[in-house]
Amino acid sequence: MDAFFAAVELRDDPSLRGKPLIIGSLPHERGVVATCNYEARKYGVHSAMNIKEAYRLCPRGVYRRPNMEKYRSISRRLHEIWNEYASALEAVAFDEAYLDVKEKAGDFEGARRIGHEIKQRIRDELGLSCSVGVAYSKTAAKTASEEKKPNGYFEIFTPEAFTALLSDRDVRALYTVGEKTAQKLNAAGIRTVRDIRNRREDVARMLGKQGAWIADLACGIDDRKVTPRRPQDAKSVGREVTFQKDVADTQLLKDVLLLLTLSVDRRRKRYGLHGRGVTLKVTFSDMRSITRSQTVFSADSPVTVYRTAARQLDSLGPAPVRLVGVSIYHLSTEEERQLRFEDILEDPVQRREAAIRELLDGLALRYGLDFAGHLEQIFQGDTLHKTVEYMRKHKKPDPV
């Protein structure tokens, strides 16, 4: 999709047309650009840019927070359309996917017809534009989809066409080459895709297995299959928040960890996953980030996850915190349970729910909010971030 979040907002609010639109944090907040329209990109704004840098470049732009629920709804409709044509669909993000259309297309002419039909349907049914690349491989299809943005269409039918297109471009034209890898290659005098192809052995020696893979891509070699990704295949499930002002209050940090844990547990249940590890992530005021991980017998109880993360937080000692997050890992669809003696005397589910209610009652006393009755609303869109900011500003003093 073309500047997906921004395009949806432009569709729904025509008064924004012709104006630079930046979706993400607001200029006075901490955070980054999620996406922006093409008018904003003319000023040098791009996704993942610090929001204050974006504001410096484009002070007269329109800044809006993302409406994730709306974008998810449209994304589901996009996937329904795409799945009508694909024998396999590999989602990359809300708004991007690889489609294997060989069965329905038959040949490249059929694929061309499908590509244009998808573009037309998305325009007619959703009022949005997308860019389509039709190619012989995943890397070539990704390259083709970017070649004529926005609202583009491009074809790369052979490895020879791929190498001819990219040979004299910067090494970053290969989508697996990031900034740090490009710096290593540049330091060795390898600046173009042609250089990679001509110095395959050097690249492989410098970068190991990754280097051999990059060298293959530079030659147009990519035999990866389109592999559907299921939520059940995730390596971890987590959530984090960035505070608008640093937080040194350990109790507040733990209270935020509780809400994050309950949000993660909600997502885990939705996907039918079971975890056996807990990770705490903290970014301090000086931008130093650390993680602490611990294996547990079962991460199916949010109380266990919360208490594990809280102990990990205590082990760090007091310091101003900019970001905090929690995740569970060692995921599986298989549940592992060990019957404990207290499970015979008391229903473990009831005991778990009682412990959660007790923890949420503590939050209610400290912040004057009915957390237990509004968790579903709190976890929607950016409401969690707003709730956390309210907690930061309105926490009642600890009793003496």
- CA dihedral angle for residue 348, residue 353, residue 358, residue 360, rounded to 10 degrees: 150
Alpha carbon 168 to chain centroid, angstroms: 32
Tokens for 132, please give them: 């389509």
C-beta atoms surrounding 373 within 10 Å: 10
The one-letter code for the residue type at 297 is F
Known active-site residue 96: yes
Separation of CA 156 from chain center: 28
Alpha-carbon distance of 325 to 240, in angstroms, equals 4
Separation of alpha carbons 15 and 180, rounded Å:
40
Asked if residue 330 lies in contact with residue 295, where contact means CB atoms within 8 angstroms, the answer is yes
Compute how many other C-beta atoms are within 10 angstroms of the C-beta atom of residue 253: 20
Question: What does the DSSP assignment read for 188-225?
Answer: TT--BHHHHHHTHHHHHHHHHHHHHHHHHHHTT-----
Triad 321, 325, 232: Cα angle to 5°: 170
Positive or negative, the Cα torsion across 180, 184, 186, 192? negative
> Of the listed 90, 96, 240, 389, which one is catalytic?
96
Q: Tell me how far apart the alpha carbons of residues 274 and 267 are, in angstroms, rounded to a whole number.
A: 11
Distance CA 101, CA 4 (A): 23
Give the CA distances from residue 138 to residues 16, 133, 159, 222, 399, in Å, rounded to whole numbers and listed in that order: 35, 10, 12, 7, 60
What are the angstrom distances between the C-alpha of 147 and each of 42, 60, 70, 150?
Answer: 18, 29, 28, 9
Can you say whether the dihedral through the CA atoms of 180, 184, 186, 191 is positive or negative? negative
- The two structure tokens encoding residue 157: 């039918």
Which DSSP category does 282 fall into?
E
Cis omega (within 30 of 0) on the bond before 302? no
Determine the 3-state secondary structure of 79 from DSSP.
helix
* Catalytic residue annotation: 96
